[in-house]
């Protein structure tokens, strides 16, 4: 019996809806994002498997280790990647198989934070001055968006009175508080992914890729794949928690693509925010708005 349970867990984590499914989905989502981006810029755009080609190209490149780097420089991308695969497995298992455990929403929230923390640790251990600038920006961003992100997620938890992801998916209702919280979560998750307008830690035109400057080859490919999988999780996370993710598969796909298109439009119509602008945006804009959503949720009960 124990062996059967272990095999089921390995299947969920490695095949569906874990590693293999997350990888394929990230390739498809990356294609949609890059194709729509190209169309917005009056370009043709890449072929369907371009992200796959880019990943395997990085696999074939040499990994150059900085002279002053320690073991964290190598381990951090692997830990970040494992955490995002586990987060993907928990979320998609709740959506597809309607399985979960008490407190899985809390575990999921923390797992989504680990890639950023690992990137900070890895880049810090490289010994590069430019990387340290990116690390400083990443830390400040982490401190800015996590507060409104956590606060906004209190709304579905308070509405369903449950810390179980499946209960939230099945019993949540659409309301003004939900819509406000969903907007905050979408924007916060964009910052987690480090995409425009929240790409200050990388900022190729300012600090030469900043936090990623010393990463190359397979390690860089792993970091980019982690970010791409996180990007593909954003619509699923928002739809499942705020907009009845398990009611109908066709509707779920439509809502998923709608949020994906919205995120792509946002990243292509807004300039990069300076780090001080990002802090002000989340602390003085998103956080008070998240408090308002919680108050509306409590009043409406």
| Alpha carbons 90 and 81: distance in angstroms, whole number | 14
Distance between the two ends of the chain, CA-based, in angstroms? 44
| Alpha carbons 86 and 90: distance in angstroms, whole number | 6
Asked, as a colleague might, if the bond just before 17 is cis with ω within 30 of 0, I would say yes
* pLDDT tens by residue, 156-202: 999 988 899 999 988 888 889 999 999 999 999 999 998 889 988 88
Region 242-271: mean pLDDT is 87
| Alpha carbons 294 and 90: distance in angstroms, whole number | 25
pLDDT higher than 80, residue 225:
yes
Residue 2 has a pLDDT of 43
Region 12-35: mean pLDDT is 88
* pLDDT tens by residue, 82-131: 999 999 999 999 988 888 888 899 999 999 999 999 999 998 888 788 88
* Sole residue written with tokens 């929230």: 109
Contact, 184 vs 143, CB < 8 A?
Answer: no
In terms of DSSP H, where are the helices of the chain? 2-14, 19-40, 50-59, 71-96, 104-124, 129-160, 165-171, 176-193, 204-207, 217-242, 249-268, 275-280, 287-300
User: pLDDT category, 11, cuts 50, 70, 90?
Assistant: low
Contact, 297 vs 155, CB < 8 A?
Answer: yes
């Amino acid at each position: 019996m124990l062996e059967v349970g272990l095999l089921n867990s390995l299947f969920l984590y490695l095949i569906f809806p874990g590693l293999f499914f997350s990888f394929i989905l990230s390739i498809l989502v990356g294609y949609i994002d890059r194709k729509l981006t190209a169309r917005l810029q009056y370009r043709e755009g890449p072929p369907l498997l371009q992200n796959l080609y880019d990943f395997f190209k990085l696999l074939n490149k040499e990994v150059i280790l900085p002279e002053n780097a320690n073991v964290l420089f190598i381990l951090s991308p692997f830990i970040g990647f494992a955490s995002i695969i586990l987060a993907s497995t928990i979320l998609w298992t709740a959506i597809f198989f309607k399985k979960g455990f008490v407190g899985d929403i809390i575990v999921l929230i923390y797992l989504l934070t680990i890639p950023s923390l690992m990137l900070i640790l890895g880049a810090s251990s490289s010994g590069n001055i430019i990387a340290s600038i990116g690390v400083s920006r990443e830390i400040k961003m982490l401190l800015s968006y996590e507060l409104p992100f956590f606060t906004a997620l209190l709304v579905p938890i308070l509405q369903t009175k449950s810390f179980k992801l499946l209960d939230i998916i099945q019993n949540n209702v659409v309301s003004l508080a939900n819509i406000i919280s969903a907007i905050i979560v979408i924007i916060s998750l964009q910052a987690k992914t480090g995409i425009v307008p929240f790409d200050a830690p990388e900022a190729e035109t300012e600090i030469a890729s900043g936090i990623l400057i010393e990463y190359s080859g397979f390690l860089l490919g792993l970091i980019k794949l982690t970010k791409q999988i996180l990007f593909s999780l954003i619509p699923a996370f928002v739809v499942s928690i705020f907009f009845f993710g398990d009611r109908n598969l066709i509707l779920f796909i439509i809502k998923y693509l709608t949020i994906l298109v919205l995120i792509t439009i946002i990243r292509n119509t807004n300039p990069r925010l300076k780090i001080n602008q990002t802090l002000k945006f989340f602390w003085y804009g998103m956080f008070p708005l998240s408090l308002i959503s919680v108050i509306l949720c409590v009043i409406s009960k």
